[in-house]
Homo-oligomer: A and B are copies of this chain.
């Protein structure tokens, strides 16, 4: 079985974007603020938006199940106040839940949190609880920079974030660290920054079972693995294998063969999880290969370093270990 741990609902019907634009207008002029009930998207519309897009590509490329979360570039936690974020997260999470109900064999949801700059992360707990208990979410996305690009929040190792971590540990769900910025630099930089914050701190002493998935192949980290090993040594931290790698995992959203080869050479196979972020920011065909840039399964398949057992780990085994609620859901179905 091939599990893609990183997919966003980037193809939602346009009504969603229209509602969001109305909500943003409503921040200035409360008369324009839409009600949650104003958004109406039918099951047929949801079905079509998935069947012709993500699901079609999954079947074409041969992946089975996607951990599916709201569109990252729509999260925009810095827009409006907590109430704005709360309504928006509720709507987006409900849509991903509905997709998972419509295609239960192919999508399982991960939640966006109603983070808001300057607001206690504990305010996110009710949405988190609902998503896990009622919607069957197997993970959350955590934005380390809800201020939107200026890095004004405390680092991820700060007690500021502990209410969320306590709930993650209680529910045994991992967080994907994911900022909302749509550009090619911010995503990658947030990944690298998240890793460096963890390196400098001792978060996993307080939460030995906490798990972070750093997407986009870990940002710059595997390429600079020697630098980070060396920095940990300068800071008198344990070896990264002890200090971080029981708790931090990287996905395979790296869109060329040499990058995947580096990732799987440098990072222990236990810490690498299959993902494509399809349909995401890079939708084209690589003229050098004739295949989609984001068809990351091809790179894993073509790897000459990985054994069949290791490929299985990356495709399925690690995901079932890092996302125990996903494993439980599959087992319940006899898979």
Contact = CB atoms under 8 A, between A and B. Distances in A.
A256 interface: yes
A225 B188 CA distance: 12
Contacts of A188: 189, 192, 220, 224, 227
Interface in A185-236: 185-186, 188-189, 192-193, 195-197, 199-200, 216-217, 219-220, 222-231, 233-234
A260 B185 CA distance: 21
A328 interface: no
A185 B261 CA distance: 23
A262 interface: yes
Contact of A185 (B183, B192, B255): B192
Contacts of A34: none
Contact of A284 (B151, B189, B230, B282): B230
Q: Which of A151, A219, A220, A254 has the most CB of B within 10 A?
A: A220
Contacts of A151: 149-150
A281 interface: yes
A234 B281 contact: yes
A82 interface: no
20 contacts: A183-B196, A184-B192, A185-B192, A189-B189, A189-B193, A216-B224, A217-B223, A219-B220, A220-B220, A220-B223, A223-B223, A223-B262, A224-B255, A226-B256, A226-B286, A227-B254, A227-B255, A227-B256, A229-B256, A231-B282
